[in-house]
Structure 1
Amino acid sequence: MTISIAENVARVFERVHVAELENGRREGEVSVVGISKTFDAQAIIDAVSAGITDIGENRIQEAEMKFPNTIGGFKKHMVGHLQSNKINKALRLFDIIHSVDSLKLAKKIASSGGNGKEFLLEVNTSGEESKFGIKPAETLDMLSEITGATGMTLSGLMTVGPRSTDEGKIRSAFRKLKSLYDDASALNIEGIDMKYLSMGMTNDFEIAIEEGSNMVRIGRAIFGERSIGRIDW
């Protein structure tokens, strides 16, 4: 029996709801971003029709092809690595960019006019060399440097959990980001507005919610298996 995207969305919402209840979170506190990479515009339409209000893509070219053919009515997230030569396109296509990972990139975004957009600082909490993101020890200084040098508002932090089945390693990576999020929230610096703690994907989003995430990025559990793709959302 083929399970529809609508059924998958309902199951994900239920799992998120249970995780919220079990961890003393408010109902609806955790946002679900449907990661639609490699799936077509119709899949996005189906997910949005089922209640998904946030859609994420990790490639500019793919988003350019798909977004014009959808029904709209959803917030668009850039979750992949952002190359400096794609900044202008990204600012036109997306509402929120999860992958600011250097002062140099932030300056280029600011000079391109990022007004009205939201930006998250990407942190590599797993220590894996294959992942993008700044080092945890540099995070608070980087937040201050970016906001001071560019006038940008940074609305949260993002990380990709480790490629591991070791729950201890996964929790450790998420706890690092939650600790940084709390420290950043306490800085009381103009331009640092910690609204989003973006961590958790299909294999680990319930652990992420336990550790404080308020935004999870779900691909396979909503759209099904992919035949291609480098990060297993």
Structure 2
Amino acid sequence: MTISIAENVARVFERVRVAELENGRREGEVSVVGISKTFDAQAIIDAVSAGITDIGENRIQEAEMKFPNTIGGFKKHMVGHLQSNKINKALRLFDIIHSVDSLKLAKKIAFSGGNDKEFLLEVNTSGEESKFGIKPEETLDMLSEITGATGLTLSGLMTVGPRSTDESKIRSAFRKLKSLYDDASALNTKGIDMKYLSMGMTNDFEIAIEEGSNMVRIGRAIFGERSIGRIDW
């Protein structure tokens, strides 16, 4: 086992545990998804051996190359933007897709037989044009439209925090998603089953936990620095 990954996993778990306890959350309530983008299959094996149970990838092509060469059971997450021409591959490779962002995409997923998977609706709560996701004010209507038109079950919401060192902006983005999550949870609509509030990455996951996240997506704090252009997971 690569010692640095094992040590990093232990540190992340401890930071998550402390954030849970400090914010009145149940220990173990927050899931950690290790984002292995640009790292090889051995890095995934090492992370899983250290206790990571969920692995996320941004790109279909990378997952296709790496997942067959891994060992150990782990849940596979698609966290990057999903192109409609790659839906079939995504459904074959992943257990949960975080990036449903339109009714059109959801219909294509349903047509491709994705009803046995879990899906999150991606919401752009930062307002940054460079990010994917629907507008916050469209979220509740979109949830109902997707479940009504496709029969898919939507299991949660996901957002990427703003690229900012301004904590107030980060908190605002996360609070928007938590408010939408609570509103969606209160809907008595078939197909809306809010289990996952996926927000928080390496730079801001403790803030996300404070604001209610129960799933954080951690790359750099587990796997180390990347040398290729990337989102700073």
- When normalised by structure 1's length, the TM-score is 0.99
Question: Cα distance, 1:135 vs. partner?
Answer: 0.0
Question: Cα distance, 1:2 vs. partner?
Answer: 9.4
- Separation in 1, partners of 2:29, 2:120: 18
- Separation in 2, partners of 1:3, 1:19: 24
**8 Å contact kept, 1:38–1:229:** no
- Separation in 2, partners of 1:195, 1:229: 32
Question: Cα distance, 1:5 vs. partner?
Answer: 0.1
Question: Cα distance, 1:188 vs. partner?
Answer: 1.2
Structure 2 stretches lacking a partner, 5+ long: none
Question: Cα distance, 1:116 vs. partner?
Answer: 1.7
Deviation by residue 1:161-189 (Cα, 9 ceiling, x = unmatched): 00000000000000000000000000110
Provide closer, same or farther for how the CA distance between residues 52 and 154 of structure 1 changes in structure 2, counting only shifts above 3 A: same
**8 Å contact kept, 2:120–2:156:** yes
Question: Cα distance, 1:72 vs. partner?
Answer: 3.4
Give the percent of matched residue pairs that are identical in Structure 1 and Structure 2. Answer: 97
In structure 2, the residue matched to 1:21 is 21
- Map of 1:1-233 to 2, 5 A cutoff? 4-233=4-233
Q: Secondary structure at the match of 1:209?
A: helix
**8 Å contact kept, 1:33–1:216:** yes
Question: Cα distance, 1:130 vs. partner?
Answer: 0.2
- Separation in 1, partners of 2:72, 2:2: 26
CA RMSD of aligned residues (A): 1.3
**8 Å contact kept, 2:115–2:151:** no
**8 Å contact kept, 2:99–2:158:** yes
Q: Secondary structure at the match of 1:152?
A: coil
Deviation by residue 1:42-75 (Cα, 9 ceiling, x = unmatched): 0000000000000000000000000000003000
- Separation in 2, partners of 1:2, 1:77: 23
Deviation by residue 1:95-142 (Cα, 9 ceiling, x = unmatched): 000000000000000000012210000000000000000000000000
Deviating beyond 4 angstroms after TM superposition, the runs of 4 or more aligned structure 1 residues are none
Structure 1 stretches lacking a partner, 5+ long: none
- When normalised by structure 2's length, the TM-score is 0.99
- Separation in 1, partners of 2:72, 2:146: 32
- Separation in 2, partners of 1:117, 1:7: 32
- Separation in 1, partners of 2:226, 2:45: 18
